[in-house]
Structure formats: C-alpha cells, structure tokens
A = this chain, B = another copy of it.
Amino acid sequence: MDTSPLGGPKHADGQDGVLAVMPRLAQLSNAVSRGRLVQHAMDAAGVTVERPAFSVLLTLHFAGKPLRVKEIAEKVQVVQPHATRQVQQLERRGLVRRIGDPDDGRVSLIEPTDDGARAADRYAHTLIGWFTGVVAHWPEQDRDDLGRLLTRLADDVTAQLAHLDDDTAAPPAGGA
C-alpha cells in the first residue's frame, strides 16, 4: 500500500535510501495524527475533550511538573492563545488545575488533577499496548534499532528545522 506522493516509480538518482524514508514518514504521520488510533485511545481514556486538549493533558502529565501556558504551547508546537483555549477546556472538565506562581503574578502554572492523570495513563497504556502489538513479531534487534534510529532522526530533524527559521532555509550540509 503506497499512499505517499514520493513512493512512485519516478525517483531521484542515487538517493533511494533517503527517498524511501520520506513517504513512509508522511504515511505514518497522516495515519497517526489524523487517524482512528488516537480516537480509539481517547475513547479508552474515557474523557470527551478535543484531541488537541488531550495532547496538552498528556504533555502536562508526562512533564512531571506544572507548566506555564507558554511552555505548553511550545511543547505541543502551537501558539499561545491556542494553548490557553485547550487549558480552559481541560479545566472545565476538571482534568487540570491552575496553581499561581508565587514569584510572578503573571504566570499561572498548570498541572493535571488526579482525574486527569488517570485519564492520561489510560490513554498511554492503550497506545503503548497497541504499538507493542504491532511490533510484537519483530526481532528484538530490529525493535531496538528502530527506537534508536527514530530517536536520532527526530532529534536531527528538529535541530535542522530550527535552522530553517534562521537562514532563509538553506539545506544542511550535503543537501541538494
């Protein structure tokens, strides 16, 4: 099954390894972010908030400490007003609570309530179980390799993306 724009018969010369990665990434990206899996896990978590709001809840839960609105926005890669809205939604559902920062009256620190933490755990558990099942029949070596390589790729991509903002998008060394 090839749903990707770059997986077809035509391809650039001598870069097939790279070429093979991109369409898969796009495919995975679509499937995971817009797909039914997330919805399924949210159903399992048993809460009815919008997907972005749940993403904020997860971020807060796994951050392990209260975060300001600005930090949340950065972590989930959205703009501040958007983070505000999601936090408000979670607050209304009783999934997060605000605690003022004694040192700075402007900031409000957000942390999950017990209910929120439990919901986040249920969600994570569902997702982990699902992915575990998907790669269950893989050789252990492959699973380890994938984790290692994907982690490195994500880090390198993230680092390079930051440069995209600086210079007007010069590709990294070795680029076309």
Contacts and interface: CB of A to CB of B under 8 A. Distances in A.
Interface SS of chain A: helix, strand, loop or mixed?
A: helix
Nearest to A172: B133
Given A77-B34, A142-B149, A176 B58 contact: no
Contact of A17 (B20, B143, B152, B157): B143
Contact of A156 (B33, B125, B134, B145): B134
Interface string A28-45: 111111111100100110
A78 to B, nearest CB: 9
A134 B25 CA distance: 14
A153 interface: yes
Interface in A35-66: 35-37, 40, 43-44, 55, 58-59, 61-64
Given A32-B26, A128-B176, A161-B35, A151 B62 contact: no
Quick one: copies of this chain in the complex? 2
Interface residues on A, range: 35 or more
B18 A25 contact: no
A126 interface: yes
A71 to B, nearest CB: 10
A68 to B, nearest CB: 15
A19 B143 CA distance: 11
Interface in A1-37: 1-10, 12, 15, 17-22, 24-37
A24 B133 contact: no
A23 to B, nearest CB: 8
9 contacts: A2-B75, A3-B76, A8-B63, A27-B158, A29-B32, A35-B161, A36-B169, A135-B156, A136-B175
